[in-house]
Structure 1
C-alpha cells in the first residue's frame, strides 16, 4: 500500500481504518501548518507549546491529535524533503541538463535559506529518522551533477560530493563582519557558485551587492 502523500494524511492514519471527524482533521491541519512555520523560523528545537499556540489550540489538543512532538516534526520535515525530491525528479527530466541542475539548485538553496529547521535536518540534526530521505536526495544530486558533466555543461574536475557543500554555503546568514546581506544574497551566492562550476564565462549577478 502506498504511503499517504501529505503530512496531515500520514498523521491521520488509524489502524482501525476509521475516518477522522471533520473537526479533528481541521485541528491537525492547523497543527501541521503551524509546525511548518515554526520549524522554518525556530528550527527543530521548537516546543509543542509553541506549535499549539501558533495553531490556536491547547497543548491538550496537540497531544490528542499528535502521537508526539518528534513524530510531528519528522513527518513535516519528511513532507518538505519529499517536495524537494519532486523538484529534483522534474529537473532530471529537463532536456537541458544544466538548466535542470540550476532549477534544482535554486529551489534547494532557497529552502535552506528560508527554513532553519530544514537546514538543520539536512545537516543531520534529526539523526536516523530522515536518513533514508537524505540518502535518496544524495542520489538525485549525484545524477543531476553527472548528467550536466556528461553534457559538457559542468567542469569535470569537481566531484558530485562537492556540490551539496557548495549549495549549503550559498544559504548564508543576514550579517557578517558588520555588513548587511542584500535581499537576494543567497541568489547572488548561488550564481557565483554556479558560474564557478561552468566551463564558460560567468553570468550577470542578480540583485544589489551587500551593504
Structure 2
C-alpha cells in the first residue's frame, strides 16, 4: 500500500476532490524528500513549504506529522522488503544477498530518515515491516551460508549490524567522504563476509 493510499484509508472522506488528492500526493512526495535530507525531526511546516501548500492545508489532509512520516517510512521500507523478496528468488544465493545488501545500504546512505527508522527512531506502526525485514535478512544470510557463499561462522544478526555500519559519518581523522563512500565500504564488507573464517 502506498503512503497516499494508507492516508486515504485512514480518512473518513474516502474519495477526496481531485485537488485535495493532488495536495496529499504533493505532501507525501515532500515528506519523502524531507525525510531523506533532514530526517525524522522534519517539521510539518517544512513539509508544507516543500509541497507548496499552507500549514492549514497540511492539517486538513494529514492528521499529524507523525502519521505522515510513518506512512512514508512504511512505503519506503516496503520497497526494501520487495527487494529482499526478489533476492530470495535468485538462483545464486550469494548474488541474491549482495543485491539486497547493496539496495539496503544505499537506502540507508541516501535517506537520513530511513536510516533513523531502521535504527529504532520510534515509529510503532513500523514494527511489522521491520520484523519482516529481519526475517528476510535472516533467510538471505542462512541461504548464502548454506550455499557456501558466506562465512558460516557469522550470525545473521551480526550481518544486520555490519550492514548498518557501512554508512558512516562524513568525516573521520580529517578526511571527508564523498557520496559513494558507502559503496567502497560495502565492497570491503561483502568481501569479508564471503571470505574464509580467520
Q: Is the pair's TM-score, using the shorter chain for normalization, greater than 0.5?
A: yes
Structure 2 counterpart of 1:207? none
C-alpha distance 15-71 of structure 1, shift in aligned 2 (>3 A):
closer
In 1, the alpha carbon distance for the partners of 2:45 and 2:12 equals 29
After superposition, the C-alpha distances for 1:103-151 in whole angstroms (9 at most, x for unaligned) are: 0000000010111100110011124231111111100000000000000
CA distance in structure 2 between the partners assigned to 1:126 and 1:176 by the alignment: 28
1:150-185, CA deviations, whole angstroms, 9 ceiling, x for partnerless residues? Answer: 001110000100011111111112211110113321
Which one of 18, 22, 29 corresponds to residue 22 of structure 1?
18
Give the equivalent residue in structure 2 for 1:145: 141
Residues 66-87 of structure 1 deviation map (CA, whole Å, 9 limit, x = unaligned)? 0111100000000000000000
Normalised to the residue count of structure 2, the TM-score between the two structures is 0.95
What secondary structure does 1:157 align onto? coil
> Corresponding residue for 2:90?
94
1:11 aligns with 2:14: no
The structure 2 residue matched to 1:54, chosen from 39, 50, 72, is 50
2:152 matched residue in structure 1: 156
Q: The residue matched to 2:67 in structure 1 has which SS? A: helix
User: 2:126 corresponds to which residue?
Assistant: 130
Deviates more, 1:37-46 or 1:177-186: 177-186
Contact 2:39 2:111 in 1 (8 A): yes
- Between 1 and 2, higher relative CO (CA 8 Å, sep ≥ 6) is seen in 2
More helix by share: 2
2:8·2:14 contact (CA, 8 Å) conserved in 1?
Answer: no
Task: Measure how far apart 1:15 and its partner are.
Answer: 6.3
User: For residues 78 and 36 of structure 2, what CA distance do their matches in structure 1 show?
Assistant: 16
Question: Equivalent residue for 2:77?
Answer: 81
Change in CA separation of 1:60 and 1:189 when aligned onto 2, cut-off 3 Å = same
Equivalence for 1:116? 112
Q: Name the CA distance, whole Å, in 2 between partners of 1:166 and 1:104.
A: 14
SS at match of 2:121: coil
Contact 2:145/2:151 (8 A) holds in 1: yes
Unpaired segments of 5 or more residues in structure 1? 201-211
Native 8 Å contact 2:70 2:123 kept in 1: no
- Root-mean-square deviation (Å): 1.3
Task: Give the TM-score normalised by structure 1.
Answer: 0.89
Closer/same/farther in 2, CA of residues 64 and 160 from structure 1, 3 Å limit? same
